[in-house]
Structure 1
Amino acid sequence: MLEHEKQIDVSDRNINNKLVESIENRSSMEMMSTSSFGEVVDFRSIGKIEKDFIPLLEDVCSRYPSLLNSEKWRSQRFIEWTLTALGRVLYFLNTKKVGDMDDDACNHLQTLWEELETFGFDLSWLRPHVQSALDMKTRVGRILEVKRLEEKVTSLEEKTKDMRTKMIEAEVNLEITRRELVKAKEDFENCDLDSELGYGKP
């Protein structure tokens, strides 16, 4: 290995070591949002992980074996925190629906993702899915706006239909009334309403 390559390799290891030390030195309170509070079970004999996360971790670790072959596994606590952080992101993506992605949900996912990124693993396979979920807020807003306009159009169409029905009824009533008027005029002699009634004087 060339001298400058050795220097780069040593530099990378130093950065990784500092990252690991920084995470491992965090207090329990600092890792509170990443920690798991559900029932925990053993995961492949490498750490205790929340039970709900196990199927998701099994799936991604089967598809991306390098996740379990990392040189960054330095302690039991680090392993459990890392897998828990990954499990929380996977669980979020697996259980949330598009319509759930409001401000609070997006902020929560952003926090989970930033915590997971601090562990320094290659997450290129997961990043597009997280970004897509975070972008859902804008897409959901557009979907809701389209839905609102569709409902408004439907309402106006119903009102227009109702008005047309009433207009037809009014036109029919008008024609009937006109015919009744003509017939009424034919049934009596026309008289001057301003003429005197009289009492038979010569």
Structure 2
Amino acid sequence: MTHPTLPRLGRRTLGAAVLLAGALVLTGCGGSDDGSSTRQDVASLQSDAPSGKASASTAPDPDADRPQLRLDSSDAERDHYWHVYATCLKDHGHKMLPQRGPDSIDDTDQSPTAKAATKACVNKLPLQPPELERSTNPHYDDDYRAYVKCLNREGLKVTALPDNSGWTYDGQTTMSEARQTEVDKSCTMEAFGGKTR
């Protein structure tokens, strides 16, 4: 979830706006994970073997082994996990875009090799902070509106898409990329960190 620069795109999703590294490495993998930021396993009920009763177990959480980013994760921590993921994809034959950087994955690669690499490395793909996911944040829409309001208050003129899945620029911005990154980080923390509720 690094914010080195904000791309000059007409439409931006929250993931791209908040997590440039995620946008650049959307299909990457690799290296070993120290496991310090992984999600906890989901408990399941086991069947009563002696009585022969049917199992009431739940399926294991497919995300249990993935690294979990936090809203306050440092750039270094985020970069580490995205690097691990990108390296894994590269090691499994996924096409990369070295001209954009060592961890930049070619997200247009839809080859069987790329699909196999993505599947092999799924446990390395960092989970985004729960606050930034509609499925895990019951206040997501309110937080997103606060995020866009903050961006505008700080001078990055944007308009939210109707479904709060992204935003578009309101004309040309004169704000430097470094300042856009700073504003984006600050507004993300302010809006999704619970300070506006």
TM-score tier, shorter chain, comes to: under 0.3
State the TM-score, normalizing by the size of structure 2: 0.20
TM-score, structure 1 length as denominator? 0.19
Larger radius of gyration: 1
Higher relative contact order (CA 8 A, sep 6+): 2
More helix by share: 1
